[in-house]
Amino acid sequence: MDELELLKKDWNKEKATYKSFSDSDIYPMLQKKSSSIVKTLFYISIAELGFWILVNTLPYFISEAYREKLNTSYENPLFMALSILSFVVILVFIYLLFKSYKSISITDNAKKLMESILRTRKVIKYYVIYNLVMIFISIPLSLYFEFNQNTVFHDQVASMNSTQTIKLYVVTVFITGIFLLVFWLFYKLLYGILLKRLNRNYDELKKLEV
């Protein structure tokens, strides 16, 4: 018997074994897998929060120039509000993921488990959209703050002719686009893989409900 026939034989055995599982056998496995995925998403969100805290605090203590510049920026109410909003959103995101994890872990009903998975998917979707929107507005806002706080940059921009100003806008749009693409790919890789697994579990649960 050649290798292909052996593979086919093993495949048929696996299919037969899978078909022998009852709904009561499959549901606990789906619940455990879903709970594990959401738990991993929760830990990733904790790590992301820690990363952004380090990114924002380390330069503050290392560089005096950065500290002075940041202190000046915090005098702007808009900058302060956006900074607070960012951390509040991350904390809310962590809380919602933890809530989803607990809900999936304790539920004993397929319909409720499906609802928890749907909520988790929505939370991830809205969180990613929020971050992309924040990136979209943060670069122009950073240039705006720099224009108002850095006299050298202010004078350079003020002395630009129309062609140079257009070039500045084009470069700003290009850099914003690059950052959006990089972060979109980052979130696509980081959360996308886990969400696909969660979606597969959801599809299997739908079959059980039929």
Q: Where are the domains of the chain?
A: 27-209
Residue 63: pLDDT over 80: no
Q: Where residue 25 falls among pLDDT bands split at 50, 70, 90?
A: low
Q: What is the pLDDT of residues 71-88, one digit of tens each?
A: 777 777 777 788 888 888
Q: 207-210, long-range: CB within 8 Å, 24+ apart, which pairs?
A: 208/23, 208/26, 208/27, 208/30, 208/110, 209/110, 209/111, 209/114
For residues 176-189, average pLDDT? 88
Task: Indicate whether this model's pTM tops 0.85.
Answer: no
**Per-residue confidence (pLDDT) for residue 8, from 0 to 100:** 43
Residue 171: pLDDT over 60: yes
